[in-house]
Structure 1
């Protein structure tokens, strides 16, 4: 992680539990870069970084939000407006940053959202024009283990035991 963060000054790692570390940066720039920019993956595991003031109990620090980049592909130029994109992504999480134009390929809108890891990812968005419904795929960048059925981060289909899978099995007789 030290190499991935490329910190300027010393960073101290203090293990709290087998899956939890407190990382203390020596300067504000390093701390902000680690929390805001990532990396979000270590191997194929999700890395959540949150600010910690040193006064709360570590196990009470809420670690449920992950800043994540997403792209809405093939969105026509007429819909590449801030208000429209905000409405399309209202269920994806709080919008942190939006890049409507300036993509090298120019065929998608890129947005960074604050995603709650306990909610499913938005897989597509749609717009109804007249009597026609247009559907646009939502792609995510650098995701850790993702269940393709329930859409939650942290496990895959073989490890999922949610009621979503059970409901689908009942519907389709599997």
Structure 2
């Protein structure tokens, strides 16, 4: 048995040595192949034999060489359903309320290129929104012709948000932009002018559809942390489980995988603010009040006292005039009554008309 074991050990060493020699030979051949390739890429004079990429030089100042792209957008319909392009185009015309014609090109995955004949329609579609179709979000991005169509980002949506119960002293443009930056790219802050405040701070942001929606933000003032609820105007269909726009809870892959819910609900939505619904304005002061504001404090106080005194005298004079008027009216009524009684007595004392029958007799 010892001899057999020794023979097996010798055989295993021989097999391992042969394997190492084969690996070394393969590495040598691979290295020689790389050297041959390098030698093949370089000619005898040292010049490269690999063909260079062809380059076309363009001068964009030459209008005849460049196609001008105008009033063109790329659109993506975030829906799990595939809809025919002709059907979608009619729906687009309805929700956009366009006045002129528009042309479309079907790309892929519910994406389309649309060209408008009217500048007004183009501006309305690009700067309006957020657009929705059958409850699903409709993203529109302008096309300038310098970027490939499939590389134009169509994964962000402009939307107005309400940051609820922000203290009046923090309702300004600077705080609105700082808080809005936590949610997306800030486009506009609806901060009230002239020191006016409201129940919430309204900010327009561009939110990413690849990130879940946030339902609150926080401010720390002198070590005290306060959170504020966030609501969204015209919010399309979204998943309350994961917080993403573009699918519902029943279609959520994270829920199917057992991921923890973010606990969102319908309180994430709020009614849009329309200009006709605003209840703010300015009540103008009269000219007399404006003149008093221009006087020093003592003069204004004296003016107020003299104005109050003159007003009191005017009221007393008016009361006296009313009393005199009532007395005069009462006297006139008495005179008329006495006159009527005298006329009545005269009529009663007149002699009766002659009896013609007695006269004839």
| TM-score bin, normalised by smaller chain | 0.7 to 0.9
SS at match of 1:85: helix
Higher relative contact order (CA 8 A, sep 6+): 1
**Gapped regions of structure 1 (runs ≥ 5):** 170-174
Q: For residue 250 of structure 2, what is the aligned residue in structure 1?
A: 158
Equivalent runs, 1:1-174 vs 2, <5 Å: 1-17=92-108, 19-54=110-145, 56-101=147-192, 106-162=198-254, 166-168=258-260
The 2-side partners of 1:15 and 1:54 are apart by 17
Q: Is the 8 A contact 1:101 1:109 kept in 2?
A: no
CA distance in 2, matches of 1:150, 1:113: 20
1:15-44 CA distance string (max 9 Å, x none): 223512221111332212111102510011
Runs (4 or more) in structure 1 with deviation over 6 Å come to: none
Distance 2:151 2:177 in 1: 31
Deviation by residue 1:93-112 (Cα, 9 ceiling, x = unmatched): 1111110227xx93112111
Q: Which runs of 5+ in 2 are unaligned?
A: 1-91, 262-361
Q: From the superposition, tell whether residues 166 and 10 of structure 1 become closer, same or farther in structure 2 (CA, over 3 Å).
A: same
**Does the 8 Å CA contact 2:155/2:208 hold for their aligned counterparts?**
yes
Q: Which has the larger radius of gyration?
A: 2
Give the TM-score of the pair, scaled to structure 1: 0.82
Name the SS of the counterpart of 2:140 in structure 1: coil
Task: List per-residue Cα deviations over 1:39-95 (Å, max 9, x = no partner).
Answer: 510011110001123565433322111111111111111111222222222221111
CA–CA distance in structure 2, aligned partners of residues 38 and 57 of structure 1: 24
Higher share in strand: 1
Could you tell me whether the CA contact under 8 Å between 1:5 and 1:38 is conserved in 2? no
- Asked if 2 retains the 8 angstrom alpha-carbon contact of 1:4 and 1:39, the reply is no
| CA gap 1:55/1:130 in 2 versus in 1, 3 angstroms | closer
Which whole-Å CA distance do the structure 2 matches of 1:80 and 1:55 have between them? 40
Distance 1:20 1:80, change over 3 A: same
Shift of 1:138: 0.6
- Native 8 Å contact 2:130 2:159 kept in 1: no
